[in-house]
Amino acid sequence: THFGFKTVAKDEKAGMVANVFHNVAAKYDIMNDVMSMGIHRIWKRFTIDCSGVRPGHRVLDLAGGTGDLTAKFSRIVGEKGQVVLADINNSMLNVGRDKLRDLGIVGNVNYVQANAEELPFPDNHFDCITIGFGLRNVTDKDKALRSMYRVLKPGGRLLVLEFSKPIVEPLSKVYDAYSFHLLPKMGEIIANDGESYRYLAESIRMHPDQDTLKGMMEDAGFEQTKYFNLTGGIVALHRGYKF
Ligand code: SAM
């Protein structure tokens, strides 16, 4: 049946995403720096600056992977605050946990293996949720957004950092060439895994554009939603509040 087909396709996507991140976990950080020419650090910095997170806050870094955002939040929230790094993939979680411990980041960080679609946290729990380059990998994005809404405190904010749609045509062309040709080649050379990076390029192309994602956040209940285009819209940061 049609319904049956959809279920299979969903399982396939989830399985593929799991494989990709098991495969890339060990090389994830270096690939990030190479592929974005270090610019992902600026995108993450901007996310932190928009977060409004203060000492004592409780933050969820969802799809947190190797923990770049968690590390920054841990320093801001201090010993009275808490950061939860949640990710569906235990290989990514392990790499993240080791890296953060090496950096001396301990005490206020917890690691939780969880699916963004069914977050294992109480209602109204977090002051801020970030999901950095994670939402495009989630199978049921609407369900995940509703789950994030549920666990966010009233007054809290959600930040979605994700690849988006370049706002000018020439940039779009260059970017397509880059992601479909150069990116899998670099994946092949550095991580010995072209296939995973082909998936990543494809998932970027399929991801909803700025206004579509904004609408999805509103459908999940978020208010005062807006987005900031970064690097010409190659990436966008979406922000929404729960009131
Ligand atoms: N946030 C980190 C960063 O910006 O560097 C890691 C981003 S990495 C590209 C995407 C992460 O999303 C992976 O660690 C993957 O395991 C995780 N992920 C994929 N699907 C997920 C889901 N349904 N729930 C939670 N995490 C998921």
Q: Which of 89, 115, 129, 207 to mutate to test the pocket of ligand 1 (most atoms within 8 A of CB)?
A: 89
Read off the pLDDT of residues 30-72 as tens digits, 9 standing for 90 and up. 989 988 899 999 999 999 999 999 999 999 999 999 999 999 9
> Which residues have CB under 8 Å from 84's CB, separation 6+?
58, 59, 60, 61, 109, 110, 111, 112, 121, 126
Q: Which of 43, 90, 137 to mutate to test the pocket of ligand 1 (most atoms within 8 A of CB)?
A: 137
Mean pLDDT to the nearest integer, 164-188: 87
pLDDT at 8: 52
Which residue's entry shows tokens 């396709």? 9
**What's the token pair of residue 174?**
């260059």
Identify which has the larger pLDDT, 197 or 82: 82
Q: Which residues line ligand 1 (CB under 6 A)?
A: 17, 21, 63-66, 68, 87-89, 92, 115-117, 132-134, 137-138
pTM above 0.90, yes or no: yes
Mean pLDDT to the nearest integer, 112-130: 98
Identify which has the larger pLDDT, 62 or 204: 62
Mean pLDDT to the nearest integer, 191-202: 85
Per-residue pLDDT at 137 exceeds 70: yes
Centroid of ligand 1 to alpha carbon of 134 (angstroms):
4
pLDDT at 74: 98
What is the share, in percent, of the chain residues with pLDDT greater than 90?
70
Per-residue pLDDT at 118 exceeds 80: yes
Per-residue pLDDT at 6 exceeds 60: no
- Indicate the average pLDDT of the chain: 92
* Ranges 26-30, 199-203, 225-229, most confident: 225-229
